[in-house]
Amino acid sequence: MIEERNETQSEAIAKFLPKRDRSLQTWMRRPSPDLAKPFDSLHWPLAAPALLCSLAAVVLFAHIIDLGSISVNWTLQFNVNIAVALIILLAGALAIIPSARKKPRLWRERNTHISLVLLVLLAAYFLLGAGHLGPINGLDLGIFTYAFTDTNINQLVLTLLIILLFWLAFQRSIIAGVALFALFLWWGFSLKGFSWDNISSLFSSQNAGLLKSMLPPKWSYFSLVITQMLVTIQTALLAMIIGVVGALPLSILAARNTTPHPTIYTIVRFLINIIRAIPSLVLALIFVTFIGLGPVPGAFGLGLHTISVLTKLYAEAIESVKPEPIEALSAAGANGLKRFRWGVFPQAFPLLASSTIYYWESNTRDATVVAFVGGGGIGFLLDQNLSLLNYANASVILVTLVVTVVLLDRVSDFVRSKVL
């Protein structure tokens, strides 16, 4: 009765309002019962434990309650080779068995047999390294050892609470998800040494004097800067070429709809994730030890990192294509190469081109940082001038770098508008 009376009042008001003022009617209308009483829509069997876990996590994280620590003398030790071999076999089993249970014919396919043989050989190689057996010793990864001495009870209980919040979040508890996000932000701001004084010190008189020493730029230094800037662009371009050439075939193996077998998909994804986890700066430093100083190790390090990132981006682009053209080509008798050429590539090309252009811009910026470890280019020059306190020269380098990145951004936008 109350809702009907509210609707009647709203209709009566609407008769006397012009059309442009009908929004007043919407504003005066009362909210629906679900919006008026939001706690009625909560699923309390999930909300109540989420609230309790969140409150307990806040209390422990803020050290409002200190549970102390316990002294233990535990040592975790295992052979890394055996662990890697077991992980390889387990990953292969998880990739093959679920698909084979749905499609028993997969057990009779040649690709499945080849995948199983490769998995067993790879696992056996690491097992040989563990036992130093056979005529060819495998790669010995050593013994992993971790000693537990003092265990903080607050951290232990907080870890258990976070695991429980994750479980509640996967059960679609909104409160648990919000609590995890808030705790994650709080943990980030609790970085040791961080305070608002750090931000205010950026604008202190001493730092203002440092900025003043960079002006005016020493423009006579530009003739040397432009040469190194071109070297940086060359480094980024070579890294981009290495990345595209390596990522395109790997992305075909790393996409679910084009990979020959789920095991190959799992192995390729695992390898590119390992490479992608290593920063390009570290990869460049590794290549410096092999090749020596100069722009080439920087290009190789950036190129290897670009392969890992573009493989992931290309694979996601390939997985997003519509299956109908591919199914039509398969029905017409097209082989795998023709299906990719005429069914997958035309659909995925806009995303492939966009990812390639974007990462070329990114490589140009990263090539500057990679040069700090001896990779050559404008970054190496910037490191030298900052170390020698030549801030007037450093300002010329920074201005050149900013202008170059802006110009490359405009060029990439133009190319993107013509290609896509």
271, 277, 279, 280 alpha-carbon torsion, rounded to 10°: 20
Output the pLDDT for position 82.
84
CATH superfamily of 220-419: MetI-like (1.10.3720.10)
Quick one: DSSP state of residue 218?
-
The domain ranges of the chain are 2-40, 69-189, 220-419
Q: For 116-145, write each residue's pLDDT tens digit.
A: 788 888 888 877 766 565 445 556 777 888
Q: For 374-394, write each residue's pLDDT tens digit.
A: 656 777 788 778 777 777 888
Phi-psi domain of 389 (left: phi exceeds 0; alpha: psi -120 through 50; beta: other): left
Stretch 19-27: mean pLDDT: 50
**Are 143 and 80 spatial neighbours (Cβ–Cβ below 8 Å)?**
yes
Query: Token digits for 366?
Result: 């990263």
Mean pLDDT of the chain: 77
How far apart, in whole angstroms, are the C-alpha atoms of residue 200 and residue 394?
24
Asked whether the predicted pLDDT for residue 7 surpasses 50, the reply is: no
DSSP string, 122-187: HHHHHHHHHHT-SSS------EEEEEEEEEEHHHHHHHHHHHHHHHHHHTT-HHHHHHHHHHHHHH
**Angle in degrees, 0-180, between the axes of helices 80-102 and 110-131, rounded to the nearest 10:** 170
Count CA atoms within 13 Å of residue 256 on its CB side: 8
